[in-house]
Every structure is written in structure tokens, then in C-alpha cells.
Amino acid sequence: MTEPLVLLVEDDAGVRRVLRTTIEAQGCRVIEAATGADALRRMTAERPDLVLLDLGLPDRDGLELIREWRGWTAVPILVLSARGDEATKIRALDLGADDYVTKPFAGGELLARLRAALRRNERRGAPPVFESEGLRIDAAARLATIKGQPVKLSRREWDVLRLLVLDAGKVVGHRQILEKVWGPAQAEQSQYLWVYIGHLREKLEPDPARPRFILTEPGIGYRLVRGEDEQG
Amino acid sequence: MQDDDGRPAPEALLAEAAAERRGKLKVFLGAAPGVGKTYTMLEAGQARRREGVDVVIGVVETHGRRETLAMVSDLEVLPRREIDYRGRQLEEMDLDAVLARQPRLVLVDELAHTNAPGSRHPKRYQDVAELLDAGIDVYTTLNIQHLESLNDVIAQITRIRVRETLPDSVLETADQIELVDLTPEDLIKRLREGKVYLGDQASRALRHFFSPGNLTALRELALRQAAARVDDQVVQYMRAHAIAGPWPVGERLLVCVGPGPSAPRLVRAASRIAERLHARWFAIHVETLHEQHLDEAARDQIHATLRLAEQLGAETLSLQAADPADAIVAAAAERNVTRIVIGQSRRGRLQAILRGSPVDRLLRRVGPVEVHVLPDIEGGEVVASPRWRRPGPIDPGPFGWSGLMVAGITGLAHLVAGAIGPGTPTLALLYIGAVTASALSFGLLPSLFTAIAATLAFNFFFMPPLYRFTVADPANILTLIVFLGIAVLLSGLAARSRLLAERARRRESDAATLYAFAAKLAGVRLLDDLLWAVVHQLALMLKRGVVLLTPDEEGHLLVRSGYPPDDRLTEAERAAAQWSWDQGRPAGRGTDTLPGAERCFLPLRTISGPVAVVGLDGPAPSGDVRRLLDALCDQAAVAIERIRLADDLDEASVKAQSEHLRGLLFTSISHDLRTPLSSIMGAATTLRRDGEKLAPAARDDLLLSIEEEGERLNAFVGNLLDMTRLESGALEPRRQWVAMSEVVATALRRAGRLLKAQEVKVTVEPGLPPLRLDHALMEQVVINLLDNARKFAPAGSVIRIDIRRRGDRIETDVTDEGPGIPAAERAQVFDKFYRIRGGDQQVAGTGLGLAICKGFVEVHGGRVEILPGPGDRGTTVRIGLPIDPMAPAPPEVSDDD
């Protein structure tokens, strides 16, 4: 397998240098773009396997780039954004970004997201199975086991869990889940979600008060992660 | 002035300091016109210009002389101001143009010149004073005969009285005097050659002026003046530089000013004596009972004389007393006066014999003080005298009443005479009663009238032969004479005591007025109310229109209050008010400055400077009214300043608070940004330079510290941003249903790296409803609380988080086992940048954390409390958030839908 090609779109040279070093250490090749125009050109010319996009670019709004790319490519897009700007993150996800990393970020977190996105990209079409620390969830077969013991889940619980398993490692927004499970009319009814996520945690988490698998992204949604990934 | 300790005398230093700030005045002094003062001044100006000094000509009269014109040559000449005076165009120096031009040095010819009416100042030397005040150096010219104190002497020498005079004090303030000397012979030669300009009408009198004898005398005067001036400067210098020397110890001189026409002469003489002695001097006027009847002209003359004394450098006092001698002795003693100058009394000989002249009485009482008595040379031209003044219209009432009284007494005496027989002195006593009564109720003249009427009546009705004005018995003649004498004496005494009582009453009324004024002003708290009270009271007391002006932020004087309400000022009035404010002296009608204005303006000043200007309709008052007004103004000024200070204090405390906060912010930012930065930079450079040589553990340590300090920096910046968001007021929580336990869980996940030293125990009451919260904001609250707890709690201790329901709220307690917060400080910890231990200590707090918590929780309608931990150990921070009645029921774990 060839090394994955990452397009790094970031206007600050210092940050670019650190990111390039970090990503290359993971066995990826990196091409850089400092402006939106440059990014568009490189995207068409070099067809990277993943895009790491800083939304604050000197010439264009990063959100516009996402919209444009999503018109013709499904390449995983990771957005770099600041804490406290949940609204922008949600818009980026709505426009089709795959995930976000909050700046300033620890290298570990960034790489975990990066790997998860690349893995999803590789596994596209593979059966939706999630495995971590003795927990196994087969969303196609609707079978969940903890250390081999089956866990019984209701239909709604499966509906929610399936979305998380399909996009394992990636944040899934509240609205996405509500629309897909309860229908577009219920998109604002976050209390449903609260109830069912609670159920799932009770049934799947070793300590529901401090979840390891079903993580809450405050203000945005939920993320199903492998326990071992998060500790890295 | 104390010089014996060898330190510079403060007054002398002050004088030097004042001279440094002011412009320097150089006077080119000449003995007579034509000696070449203007030429010399221009020459000096040219020399300065060659040195690179910015020199302009304010005003120079070349009188068409070629040499002088040549000297002007390329010096910048400021255009003059044209003043239209009765159809004639007069040209004057444009003072404002010079001030606006701000040259380093300005040449101003003829210092003693009188300005055209309508100018700002009547005299050019006042213009020059303003230039000096503005820090501009001035070169000017002066002829010796214009000097005020030499006016009399020169008039005697030359028989020409010079009208344009200059106060000696002006010459005294000159920093330098250059004598432009020419021998009388040369001057006369120049005169013959037509090189001396003598005005439009070169009269014979003026030619007489240039006689060799006159010129020699004038030259001598000029030389002496210049020499004395040099002396003064030496003395001043030596004092300022603490050079010991036999300085004359404070001679002090006091001159007594009366209403006579010779008073100005007396004052000039006193000024010369004081000058010779280097003495501080005073001019005193004692208003006696007699002088209360003085007419306006005489009062004005006294006022003018006192002003002259002021111009000549005296301090003036105005007193009131029954006996001037007593008042003078008291004033002299109070001021340690060593010499008194007094004019010879012109009282009638009779009175001098009866009571002694004031000079005699003064001499008897004055003790060790030297008294100079000057003869009254111009005695013949009496213009004003209290005794021979033209009697005003006499009120006939008192005389009628007195006549009635005499008639009544006569009737009464008839009854008494019927009982005890005529001719007895008892009857005379009855008449004496009438005289006394008349004197006490009506004053001197009616009582004298009564005395005469009574004598006549007594003679006519009761002295044989009866009903005739003749007296038969010589003994009775004596009786009549004695009676008349007693009656006259009594009427004088009684009238005097009446006047004294009246005076006392007036004093009392002044005091009462002042007191009432003070009381009116004392209660006022608002500036506008105070200004109104001042104006209203002044208007009532003076029975004139009054306006009050204070400056706005840009320093323009504005009418702030008026009674009757009227805030229109003419241009002249505006200028007078401004000048009065700037110079701290009265201006406008009835004063030296801008007398053309309709109103007069007086500054309200306190020690710290002017606070307002008060404008009165009509001329500046003088005498009693002026003194009362000054006292009122002082009180008003103090009252205004009091309110200003109170306002300033409020403002200052607000400002101090924000300055304090800014200071804290500064400390906080420099500490919280620099500390982690220095760790990061230090670790990074070490790693880069010595990375190879370091043991792997040490390298890890450095790397870890980079990571940790980065976190710290990030947290601080995050806090600053949160605070900014809160303070901008733009923070709108994005609420969603979320359980408090979940908020705590995500917070713990994010803060996990921070919480290595302590264990966190979370207990959650089961079955709690979710809350509608902005999860991100509330997560930050919990992180900040955990961060605080971590900083204050010892390593290995437990941080507890308890979530439970209390009524309609969900309470979340974060409890640490740290040292706790003293009760007194608990309220303060929510203040921005407050640190429990403050300063640059080990426990680094951003000082923002709790303030942000409070802000975020309050945005959610909740509240934060600081409580002592259980068993008074540690601290509990409790967040209480309201439960929404629409909250969904907590999930029940079920296997089906």
C-alpha cells in the first residue's frame, strides 16, 4: 500500500511545519497549500487521500472550499477550528466535513482523528463492525456482545448505535441522528437523543458516568471511539 | 528673609523660578527723547537675530528717521491693529497677533505709551506684561520721566507734568536695563540738527524741556535708576544663591492716605522712601466717621490713590475706625512697621487744640516707630474735604421734629415754672434732654439746630426780661453761654455715639449677610444648584444683575447661571471675562482692563486657582460694597471648589478602581503569559542545543513541560477569550438537553491531563432530570472549578463532585481538601483577577476562572456560591441550576420500546 497523501491547507508557515513533521512521522506524504486558491489547484491536480483544512485562510472562507469539494469528491476532510466556536464546527459538518480537531491540539488527538478518517476511507463498503476492549458491535447483524456476552438493545437503540458504528471515530451531529432516526420533523428534539444515548451507555459502557466508547462532543454530537485510541 | 543659615531664601528662589517661566524683559532706558533708545533696541534685536533667535517687531516708531529705518531692515514687522476712535484711525500693537505668532523675542517701543480707547489694556506696559506671561521675551524703550515715582521730581525740575506714567514695579520686574546714554551737549546738537522727534507740535514748552540743566538732571536720574536697578539685581542674585551679606532687616513702611489732593504725592514720596530702604510697604486708608459723608468724587480719589500705591508696589488696606490714630497704630503694630509716613493734618486750629491733631495723637501712641510727616504743599487746592463739602439736600423732617420737641419742652417747662418759679437751672436741664434726644435720633446738624433753638426758647420764655431776646442779669448770660456750650458738646457726643452705633449695625449686617450667604451655600450638593444660589444671593445683596461663568472642557468660559436669567454677553464682555479668568484680576467696566464692557467681571479664586468668573451689571464696586463682595466671592469660590472636589473624588475613585483592575490585568497577563512561555522556550532551546547529551528521562521531562506549559497557556488564553465573550454581552448559550453528570464527564475527559495529583470522585443522585444547558459553556465552568480545586488541594487528596437535586434546582458541588477561603474573602473571589494568595506565588491562578464561572452560570439563570467544605475543611463551590419543568423524564433501562 502506498503512503497516503495528505493535503495540508494552512496559512501559517510555523503551524504548517509542525503539522508536516507530525503527519510525515505517521508515514504519510504531505503537500501544502497556504491559500484557498492554491488548495483548490492542488486538490484537482494531486487528488490527495485526505485534506486537513484550516478554516481561516487569507483569500477564502474555508467553508466555501468544503462546499466546492463536496460537489465532486468524497475525500475525507478534517477541519481545524478553535474552541468556543461550535457554530462553525457544526456548519462545517453540515457542509460535509468529516470531522474537526480543536486548536490548539495535542499531536495525539490529531493523529487519532487522522487515522480514523483514513481507516473509514479504506473501509468504505466493508461491514460495519466496531470492536474495542471486549466490546463488539456488528451493526449489520444487530449483534452486540461484551466479552462474548450478548447485550440486548431495543430497535431505536440499534438505530442510533448503527449511525455511530457506521461513522466510528467520527463525530456524528445531534441533528444528523435525530433526522435519520426520528425524522426531519424531530430534528430539534435533543431530549430523545439524551434518553437513548443514556440507555446505550447503561448497556454498553463499563462506567456509564465516565464513558469510554460513546463520547459526547459538547454542543455538537457524539462520537463512537475505540477506548485504546483515545488513550493514545 | 532669613539668610543667616546660609540657605537660599525661598522667596528669592521663587522669584527666580517665576522669572524663568516668564519671558525676559529688557528695558532700554533713556534720559530724554532723542538719545537713540529705539535705534539701540533695534541694533540689539538685529544682533539677537544673527544669533538665530526668532525676533519680530511688535511696534516701533521710526519717526521717519533714516538710520532707524535702516536698522529695521529685514526684521519681521507684525502689522498693527487699527482702532477706530471718534472717526480717527489709530494704530496700536496687535497684542493677539504677537501672542499668536509666538516669537522668541518681540520689540515693543515706548513702554509708557497709552493705548487707544477700546484696546484690551489702557496701557502698553500691560500688553507687555501679558507677552511676558506668555513666555515671550520683550525688548522695550522707556524715558526716565515716565517713571511714576519720579513724576513729581521731574515735574519740579522741568515744570512739565508728564501724563503717561509707568508704575515703578514694571521697571523693577525688568530682567535687564540698558541705559542709552548721551551727553546733554550731544543731545542738544542732535536736536538742532532736527534728528529728535518731538511729536506733531514741537511746542516751546517742549523745547524748554531740552535745556542743558534739565537734561543733566534727567540724565542723572536715569543713571541713578539704572544703577539702583543693578544693585537690586545683585542683591536678588546674592539672596537666591545664599551669599551671606549685611542685608537690611525688613524695614517696613506704612503710608496713611487721606482724601486730600496731596495724597498721591504722599504715596509717591513713600514709594521713594520704601525703594531706598528696600522696604516692603503698605498704604492704609482709615475711614473715619466724618468721612462717611464724603461725596463720590472724594471716595473715588481715595480709591485712585490706593490703586496708585498698589501700582507702585504697596499692599493696600482700608479700615474703618472712629479714631484714625488708633487704627493706624494697630495696623502698624500688626505688620511690624518700622516707619510711618503721614501728611500734615489740615484740620482747624480749634480742633487741634481741643482734641489734638491726628498726627499728634499718632505720635503720642506710636511707640518706637519712626514717623515722617510731610508738609501739605498743594494745600490751597482743596477739592474735597469732609467739613466743607457742599451740603446735600437737607431732609427737613428731623428739624421739624426737633422744633416740635423744643416747643413741647417749652410747654412742659411752663408747667414746671408755674410750680417752682422761673429762671431755675432745672428748666435748662429739660432742654438738654431735647438736645440729647435730637442728637441720638437725627444726628449732628438737627441736634445743633435744637441746641440753638433751645437756647433761644430758654432765653425768650424763662429769662428776665421775659418774652424778649435780651438778658438783664449778667449771671444769666453766663448761664446761657454754659447752656449753649453744654448743648453743643452733648449734641456732638450723642451724634458720635449714634454714628458708632450705626457703623456697628452696618458691620453686623455685613456679618449677617456673609453668614446667611455661607449658610445658603453650605447645604447645596449639586454644582448647578450652587451656582444658582451664588448668583441669586449676590443679585439680591448687590441689587444688580449677576452672571456666573465657568469654563467648559475646552476652556471657553460659558455663562452657567444668571439672575435675572440672561446669558448674552457682548464681545467686550466675553473678552473681559476671559481676561479676568486668565489673570485672576477684575476686568471690565470700572477697571483698568477693557473698561468699555457693560459689565465688570471678578474672578472667584481659591488657593488652587480660579474656579469661576462673576459678572456684575455696571462698574466694579468699590469701598464697603467691594469688601463685602470680595468676602462673598471668596465664600462662593470655596463652596464651588468644595462641590468640584466632591465630584472629582467620586470620579477619581471610579477611575482608581478601573486603574486597579487594569493593573491587575497587566500583572495577570504578564505573569500568566510569560511564565509558561519562558518554560516552553527554555525547554525547547535546551532540547535543540543539548538534545543529544541529555539522558532520555531528562529529555522527556523537558518535552513534558513544553506540553504542560502549552496547556496552561492555552487555558489562560481560553479564559481571556471567554471573559471577553462574557463582557461583550454577545454570549448566547446554545441550549440543549443534557445531564449535569454528562457535563461533568466531558469536563473530566478534557481536564484529565490536569488531574494527575488528585483523585476525583463523582457521585450522582440517580434519576435526575436533564437540564437545558450550553454544554460547552457549562463544561468550561466545571473545568475551571476542577482547575481551581487542583491548585489549592494538596497532592494525593480527593476532589469530590456531588450532583443532586434540591427542590427545583440541581446542585453540583466541587469540594477540595485545600486550606479553604477565609469568610471575608469569599465574595471577592469572583472578582476578575482576584487571586486568593495574590502576587507571584507558586499557586498560579489566572484570577479569571471563578469570574468566568459566575458569568456562565448566571447566563443559565443559575448561581455560584463559595462555602466552607464539610467539617470546615477545604472549599466547596456550589453551582445551582434551575430544573426546567418541561424536562423529559430520566430514562428507564428497558429492553423494549
Interface of B with A in 292-331 (CB under 8 A): none
Per-residue pLDDT of A72-112, as tens digits, reads 888 999 998 776 677 888 888 888 898 888 877 777 778 88
Whether residue B897 lies within 8 A of chain A, CB to CB, comes out as yes
Identify the residue among A191, A199, A230 best suited for mutation to test binding to B, counting B beta carbons within 10 A and taking the highest: A191
Scanning B729-865, the segments in alpha helix (DSSP H) are 740-751, 775-792, 849-859
Give A83 to chain B, closest Cα distance, Å: 8
Angle at A135 (CA atoms; ends A133, A138), nearest 5 degrees: 135
- Is residue B496's pLDDT more than 50? yes
Burial of B478 (0-12, 13-18, 19+ CB in 10 A): exposed
Give the Å distances, CA to CA, from B363 to B253, B280, B316, B349, B356: 15, 22, 22, 18, 11
Give A77 to chain B, closest Cα distance, Å: 23
Whether residue B748 lies within 8 A of chain A, CB to CB, comes out as yes
Contact A209 B776 (CB under 8 A): no
Q: Are B865 and B880 in contact (CB under 8 A)?
A: yes
Considering only alpha carbons, which residue of chain A is nearest residue B738?
A: A194
Give A26 to chain B, closest Cα distance, Å: 19
- Is residue A50's pLDDT more than 90? yes
In DSSP notation, B518-585 reads HHHHHT--SHHHHHHHHHHHHHHHHTS-EEEEEE-TTS-EEEEEEESS-----HHHHHHHHHHHHHTS
Query: Cell numbers 544703577 label which residue?
Result: B227
Fold match between B525-717 and B731-882? no
Whether residue B470 lies within 8 A of chain A, CB to CB, comes out as no
Helix (H, G, I), strand (E, B) or coil at B634: helix
- Is residue B278's pLDDT more than 80? no
- Amino acid in the structure at residue B79: P
Question: Which residues from chain B sit within 8 angstroms of residue A198, using beta carbons?
Answer: 739, 890-891
Among partner residues A202, A203, A209, which is closest to B741 by beta-carbon distance?
A: A209
Residues of chain A with CATH 1.10.10.10: 129-231
Confidence band, pLDDT 50/70/90 cuts, at residue B74: confident
The C-alpha atoms of residue A50 and residue A8 are separated, in whole angstroms, by: 9
Angle (deg, nearest 10), helices A174-182 and A86-95: 50
Structural class in CATH, domain B252-374: alpha beta
Among partner residues A195, A202, A209, which is closest to B888 by beta-carbon distance?
A: A195
Interface of B with A in 352-391 (CB under 8 A): none
Give A216 to chain B, closest Cα distance, Å: 7
Structural class in CATH, domain A129-231: mainly alpha
Confidence band, pLDDT 50/70/90 cuts, at residue B782: very high
- State the complex-level ipTM: 0.80
As given in the structure block, the three cell numbers for residue B436 are: 440729647
Query: Cell numbers 540724565 label which residue?
Result: B219
The C-alpha atoms of residue B684 and residue B697 are separated, in whole angstroms, by: 15
Whether residue B895 lies within 8 A of chain A, CB to CB, comes out as yes
Strands in B357-456 per DSSP E: 370-374
Domain positions in chain B are 10-240, 252-374, 396-501, 525-717, 731-882
Phi-psi region of B139 (alpha: psi -120 to 50; beta: other; left: phi over 0): beta
Helix (H, G, I), strand (E, B) or coil at A97: coil
More confident residue, B248 or B512: B512
Statement: the pTM of the whole predicted model exceeds 0.80: no
Per-residue pLDDT of B635-653, as tens digits, reads 788 788 877 777 777 777 6
Structural class in CATH, domain A5-122: alpha beta
Percent of residues, chain A, with pLDDT higher than 70? 94
Q: Are B320 and B330 in contact (CB under 8 A)?
A: no
Give B652 to chain A, closest Cα distance, Å: 37
Considering only alpha carbons, which residue of chain B is nearest residue A199?
A: B893
Among partner residues B738, B749, B762, which is closest to A194 by beta-carbon distance?
A: B738
Which long-range contacts (C-beta less than 8 Å, at least 24 apart) are formed by A139-145?
Answer: A139/A165, A139/A166, A144/A203, A144/A204
The C-alpha atoms of residue B180 and residue B32 are separated, in whole angstroms, by: 10
The C-alpha atoms of residue A195 and residue A202 are separated, in whole angstroms, by: 11
Q: Are strands A77-82 and A50-54 parallel, antiparallel or unpaired?
A: parallel
Q: Cis ω on the peptide bond leading into residue B564 (within 30° of 0)?
A: yes
- The number of beta carbons lying within 10 Å of the beta carbon of residue A15 is 15
Question: Which residues from chain A sit within 8 angstroms of residue B800, using beta carbons?
Answer: none
Work out the end-to-end distance of chain A between its first and last CA atoms, rounded to an integer number of angstroms: 24
More confident residue, B247 or B391: B391
Considering only alpha carbons, which residue of chain A is nearest residue B752?
A: A231
Give B848 to chain A, closest Cα distance, Å: 17
Whether residue B743 lies within 8 A of chain A, CB to CB, comes out as yes
- B316 alpha carbon, distance to own chain's centre: 19
pLDDT of residue B175: 80
- Is residue B421's pLDDT more than 90? no
The C-alpha atoms of residue B599 and residue B611 are separated, in whole angstroms, by: 19
- The number of beta carbons lying within 10 Å of the beta carbon of residue B878 is 17
Whether residue B891 lies within 8 A of chain A, CB to CB, comes out as yes
Helix (H, G, I), strand (E, B) or coil at A134: coil
Question: Which residues from chain B sit within 8 angstroms of residue A86, using beta carbons?
Answer: 734, 776
Give A207 to chain B, closest Cα distance, Å: 11
Question: Which residues from chain B sit within 8 angstroms of residue A199, using beta carbons?
Answer: 891, 893-894
pLDDT of residue B673: 79
- Is residue B5's pLDDT more than 90? no
Among partner residues B762, B775, B894, which is closest to A218 by beta-carbon distance?
A: B775
Give A53 to chain B, closest Cα distance, Å: 21
**A contact set with B (CB within 8 A):** 83-84, 86-87, 104, 106, 152, 154-156, 174, 190-196, 198-199, 202-203, 209-211, 215-216, 218-219
Helix (H, G, I), strand (E, B) or coil at B357: coil
More confident residue, A21 or B495: A21
pLDDT (mean) for B598-621: 83
Contact A154 B895 (CB under 8 A): yes
Is the domain B731-882 a CATH 3.30.565.10 member? yes
- Is residue B657's pLDDT more than 70? no
Whether residue B738 lies within 8 A of chain A, CB to CB, comes out as yes
- A205 alpha carbon, distance to own chain's centre: 20
The C-alpha atoms of residue B500 and residue B507 are separated, in whole angstroms, by: 10
Identify the residue among B704, B753, B775 best suited for mutation to test binding to A, counting A beta carbons within 10 A and taking the highest: B775
Contact B707 A106 (CB under 8 A): yes
Contact B888 A191 (CB under 8 A): yes
Residues of chain A with CATH 3.40.50.2300: 5-122
Q: Are strands B370-374 and B339-343 parallel, antiparallel or unpaired?
A: parallel
As given in the structure block, the three cell numbers for residue B224 are: 541713578
The C-alpha atoms of residue B115 and residue B504 are separated, in whole angstroms, by: 44
- The number of beta carbons lying within 10 Å of the beta carbon of residue B463 is 23
Instruction: Give the residue among A94, A85, A26, A27 at the shortest CA–CA distance from A54.
Output: A85
Q: Are B393 and B362 in contact (CB under 8 A)?
A: no
Contact A84 B721 (CB under 8 A): yes
Among partner residues B742, B744, B893, which is closest to A202 by beta-carbon distance?
A: B893
- Is residue B3's pLDDT more than 70? no
Among partner residues A195, A203, A216, which is closest to B742 by beta-carbon distance?
A: A216
Give the Å distances, CA to CA, from B320 to B284, B301, B323, B455, B514: 10, 17, 9, 35, 18
- Of the CA atoms within 13 Å of residue A7, those in its CB half-sphere come to 27
Question: Which residues from chain A sit within 8 angstroms of residue B770, using beta carbons?
Answer: 191, 194
Angle at B302 (CA atoms; ends B298, B303), nearest 5 degrees: 115
Considering only alpha carbons, which residue of chain B is nearest residue A83?
A: B718
Work out the end-to-end distance of chain B between its first and last CA atoms, rounded to an integer number of angstroms: 107
Among partner residues B718, B738, B748, which is closest to A83 by beta-carbon distance?
A: B718
More confident residue, B887 or B607: B887
Is the domain B10-240 a CATH 2.40.30.10 member? no
Q: Are B432 and B447 in contact (CB under 8 A)?
A: no
Burial of B521 (0-12, 13-18, 19+ CB in 10 A): buried
pLDDT of residue A78: 92
- CATH number (3.30.300.30, 3.30.450.40, 2.60.120.200, 3.40.50.1820) of B525-717 reads 3.30.450.40
The C-alpha atoms of residue B584 and residue B262 are separated, in whole angstroms, by: 31
Question: Which residues from chain A sit within 8 angstroms of residue B775, using beta carbons?
Answer: 216, 218-219
- B780 alpha carbon, distance to own chain's centre: 58
The C-alpha atoms of residue A115 and residue A170 are separated, in whole angstroms, by: 11
In sequence order, the 6+-apart residues with CB closer than 8 A to the CB of B403 are B449, B453
Least confident of B216-230, B447-461, B785-799: B216-230
Instruction: Give the residue among B673, B667, B628, B592 at the shortest CA–CA distance from B123.
Output: B592
Q: Are B812 and B740 in contact (CB under 8 A)?
A: yes
Contact B888 A156 (CB under 8 A): no
- B114 alpha carbon, distance to own chain's centre: 29
Contact A106 B774 (CB under 8 A): no
